[in-house]
Amino acid sequence: MSRIQETPITMVSEETVPHNMKAHLAAIADETEILPREAALQAVTQNWLEKVRLFRDQTSALRMVQEPKLCREDPRGAILLTCSGSLIVLGPQNGKGTRSFEYASISLRKDVPDLARSEEAWLEEDAETGRIARFGGALVTRSSEILSIATFEEELPWTDQKERLRQGAIFLTNSFLQANRTINSCREHGSCREHGPERFTLRSMVQYVATRNELTQDKTRDIILDYLTMVETGVLLGERVSLGPLGAVHLHLRHPQKARMGRHPGTGEEILIPAKPRRAIPRVSFSSRLKASTLELPQERIEELLRREAGE
């Protein structure tokens, strides 16, 4: 088997896509039915590069380190990115020598990933960039060749590792799906300028959470709606309700306002703004962690948000 040319993930660009990957991307482009073929190949290549960038940025934000190899007996957790764009999340090794395992195969031909999970899996051999990884105790016994391995500093507690892995898995899986929608839109519209519909709806999130936790969608929806109802109830009772890592939601009291003259924002006509009594309004206080994460957003993502806002 030919070995993928190893290119440091921080240096991957369209000009430095490994030679073997170009053949793989060309095969995917042929399946997209995008015409002309040059446009298909460019779209697929940009999709792959976007996934590489997302992986690099998110693992960096989680204070993970890139390493060329993860030894079979290494107790640290890790996230592996394969050359085909799939994700493998390995939990820290427990006292029995096994670890949690999550495989997300994010295909360009599907809206949701195929997830395979196990709580007692292990590496059959050392995982190394440029080589196939093999696993025991899981439905998926081998991966495609590994492009990058992100793990943790050795002194990081396993509880912190597990939380960062959970965040990374959810963020990257959904980010990769969002990147795939560009290809799906190209396929439908014959160009690469369209964007797919927003997928962070209650229905799509219920479907994802249900699949990831091996629950039925009905049960998952009931749990999520119960949680949201509890949040709403707490707010209406005047409590400050925690939203976990997002922050907290609470009621803010506004002082009464006297009637006053103002101008209609559309016509500029002078109008009477009626008096308003003392009232309560909901307010969200975002956590310092979320604020810090938004400040660390890469410039490419900010530019994408600006394009969406402008309706491009």
Cβ-Cβ contacts under 8 Å for 283 (sequence gap 6 or more):
249, 250, 251, 252
117 is a domain residue = yes
CATH code: domain of residue 274:
4.10.520
- pLDDT, position 228: 95
Tens place of pLDDT per residue across the chain (312 aa): 334 444 444 444 555 677 777 877 887 777 777 778 788 888 888 888 889 989 999 999 899 999 999 999 999 999 999 988 889 999 999 989 999 999 988 766 454 457 889 999 999 999 999 999 999 999 899 998 999 999 999 999 999 999 999 999 999 988 888 887 767 656 555 544 433 345 688 998 998 899 888 899 999 999 999 999 999 999 999 999 999 999 999 999 999 999 899 998 889 899 999 999 999 999 999 999 899 888 888 787 788 788 878 775
Count of the separate structural domains present in the chain: 2
Supply the pLDDT for residue 180.
79
pLDDT of amino acid 8: 46
Residue 4 resides in a domain: no
Residues 169 and 269 in one domain: no
Beta carbons within 10 angstroms of residue 243's beta carbon: 14
| Residue where a domain terminates, one of 212, 242, 276 | 212
Q: What is the mean pLDDT of the chain?
A: 85
- The residue segments making up the domain with residue 148 are 9-212
Compute the residue count for the chain: 312
Nearest to 22 by CA among 30, 11, 32: 30
- DSSP 3-state percent helix, strand, coil across the chain (nearest 5): 40, 25, 35
Instruction: Tell me how far apart the alpha carbons of residues 74 and 96 are, in angstroms, rounded to a whole number.
Output: 13
* Helices (H), ranges, 33-89: 37-61
Look up the pTM and report it: 0.76
Radius of gyration of the chain (CA): 24
Residue 248: helix, strand or coil by DSSP?
strand
Tell me, what's the pLDDT at 244? Answer: 93
Alpha-carbon distance of 148 to 89, in angstroms, equals 12
The whole-angstrom separation of Cα 274 and Cα 100 is 60
